[in-house]
Structure 1
Amino acid sequence: ELLVCQEFRSHVIDGLILSPIHLETADLVARQETSPLVLLGEREYEAPYDQIAIDNVAAAREAVRHLVGLGRRRIAFLGSRTGRERQPAHLRLRGWREELVASGLDPAETLVVATDGYGRSDGATAMAELLDRGERPDAVFAYNDLIALGALRTLTERGLRVPEDIAVVGFDDIEEARFGAISLTTVAPDKHAIARLAVDRLVERLGGGPMSEPRRISPGYELVVRESTGGAPVPADPGSGGRDRPTPTG
């Protein structure tokens, strides 16, 4: 990432759409270059560049609201991380808390499980830890689909039924979310809109017109309801990108 930014500074690249993984705000702020840069990704940067990212707090609230609407009252969150308040994990945890409070429910810290990573094994371990605490939830909202899929594995191994005993919601709408033994309800970012908005913004910046202030643009998302929260399995429309029963929001 730093190498790409170096080439950018040396005028090898006229404009850049970048989805940083390791770069910090300080790295971006220190960049003394006027060539257009558009940031992707859901981490919030306090840097003077356009950014395209869904509203993680609102999307998380939508997921939790769905579970509350199903009558679930002990809703756990898997995948929290300490520090870095502008990271997606923190923002989704914030949405979980806000929606529970708005629904008159207790966002108990005993229902929050941190993970070292964001893979299936992390989700399986987190779900086992929660159950071993004696803090059995009636629903789980996972930071992402991989954590949710790992949680589903643990629930199956423990003899718990999904969604009858515990409903599960993920985030990202990866392909496996649709094809698992229990298809996964998930938040699906509008990836086409993200790409279109990023390119449009970069082209506008490259056009040489009057420079406007940097903008943070939030594309839409869908809550895709599947079997893990009681939705019937429905064959996906070939043109839908694998989405079943979408609930448009955002």
Structure 2
Amino acid sequence: MAGVRLQDVADHAGVSMKTVSNVVRHHPNVSPQMRARVQSAIDELGYRPNALGRRLATGRTGLLALAFADIRLPYFAELANLVAATASTSDARYRVLLEETGGTLDGERAVLNASESGLVDGMLFQPAIMTTSEIDERHGDIPIVLLGEGAAPPSVDRVMIDNEAAAMMATGHLVDLGRSRVAFLGHETTQLTATSQQRIEGYRRGLEHAGLSADPALLIATVETGAVSARAAVGAAIDAGLHFDGLVCRDDLAAIGALRALHERGVAVPHDVAVVGWDDTSFAATTYPSLTSIAPDTATLASMALEMLEERIAGFDGAGRHRLAPFQLTVRESAPFR
């Protein structure tokens, strides 16, 4: 039924508008019998709460935004699934709206500007381009928690993993396998993002810790994110005579492209080159060979971020809290233990 109002539901159920509002907001102080009665009226009339109307009535919309570069990237798709599932089971039972920035400055500015429209109660945001000062200036009064390795003002909460330590772990694993020419694949050809900077630094530190030099020729950049570009980059490097026996990849997509390029040139994995991916996305266990990968604890990351965001929404106004989520190395066939 079009145009059903909160008052219509209240009249149909024979209760007050406040009672209907409490049921819609999943307020705990509603008896099971009353909840069933109101829910029956909601179902019969086809009532759907209006976000702006709910904000006027309660001060909140029950909606959160999750903003990142590209939902086509497996890591972000899986993270979005975890955030939505975690938010829906919280006491507030939030729904999550996805916002893509395209990895551009204009896109990142747009999601922060849109957040001020009052449609969401708070935002989880993974910036790639915006500077610390611009995030601090533009986020306004909207509660926000940042994800990942990008810029983070001291006043804003952030959750990430220790990328340098993780890259050191990946590099150290390859060195422990006896690999002495370890390359890094998948960073940008132009200006490095904070993610790439930290992962390359950890890779270099891992080599130095093992007493190996960091050869700049072993940094294999890609034109764009994805398996296709990684395949081309690794193929071109091998065709140009670059020798390496271990490969740390910026993400699992880069690793998939590398596996293809190596196979096409008769380079055996892991016999000739051992490969480590990053993110341990769902397909890592099904590649051939299966992919050893850095595995961020994304479930904990999502839970920590949502917990801090809900605290901000509830009124917490302390200094920004920067938290680290755990990670591990999931070892599979592409770089197995000796």
User: How does the TM-score come out when normalised to structure 1?
Assistant: 0.85
Identify the residue that residue 162 of structure 1 maps to in structure 2.
269
For the structure 1 residues 150 and 195, does the alpha-carbon distance in structure 2 shift closer, same or farther, using more than 3 Å as the test? same
Identify the residue that residue 218 of structure 1 maps to in structure 2.
324
Contact 1:28 1:47 in 2 (8 A): no
Contact 1:44 1:86 in 2 (8 A): no
Where 2:196 maps in the other structure, the secondary structure is: helix
Task: Write out aligned runs for 1:6-155 (5 A).
Answer: 6-21=113-128, 23-31=130-138, 33-46=140-153, 48-81=155-188, 84=191, 87-155=194-262
Deviation of 1:85 (Å): 5.5
Per-residue Cα deviation, 1:206-231 (whole angstroms, up to 9, x for no partner):
2224x321122110111000000125
Report the residue type matching 1:112 in the other structure. Answer: L
Structure 2 residue 317 is the aligned partner of structure 1 residue 229: no
Identify the residue that residue 77 of structure 2 maps to in structure 1.
none
CA-based RMSD: 2.1
| CA–CA separation in structure 2 for the residues paired with 1:228 and 1:126 | 19
Where 2:138 maps in the other structure, the secondary structure is: coil
Contact 1:14 1:36 in 2 (8 A): yes
- The structure that is helix-richer by fraction is 2
Aligned residues: 231
Structure 2 residue 184 is the aligned partner of structure 1 residue 184: no
Where 1:30 maps in the other structure, the secondary structure is: helix
| CA–CA separation in structure 2 for the residues paired with 1:44 and 1:22 | 8
Per-residue Cα deviation, 1:146-191 (whole angstroms, up to 9, x for no partner):
1111111111111111101110001011222111121000001111
Where 1:177 maps in the other structure, the secondary structure is: helix
Report the residue type matching 1:35 in the other structure. Answer: I
Where 2:152 maps in the other structure, the secondary structure is: coil
Report the residue type matching 1:17 in the other structure. Answer: L
| CA–CA separation in structure 1 for the residues paired with 2:192 and 2:318 | 27
For the structure 1 residues 135 and 84, does the alpha-carbon distance in structure 2 shift closer, same or farther, using more than 3 Å as the test? closer
User: How does the TM-score come out when normalised to structure 2?
Assistant: 0.64
Unaligned runs of at least 5 residues, structure 1 = 233-250
Per-residue Cα deviation, 1:66-125 (whole angstroms, up to 9, x for no partner):
111111111001112256565211211111111101110011011111111121111111
Deviation of 1:33 (Å): 2.0
Q: Point out which structure has higher relative CO (alpha carbons under 8 A, 6+ apart).
A: 1
Unaligned runs of at least 5 residues, structure 2 = 1-107
Contact 1:120 1:148 in 2 (8 A): yes
The runs of at least 4 consecutive aligned structure 1 residues that moved more than 6 Å come to none
Report the residue type matching 2:307 in the other structure. Answer: D
| CA–CA separation in structure 2 for the residues paired with 1:231 and 1:85 | 32
Percent identity (aligned): 38
Deviation of 1:5 (Å): 2.1
Identify the residue that residue 55 of structure 2 maps to in structure 1.
none
Larger Rg: 2
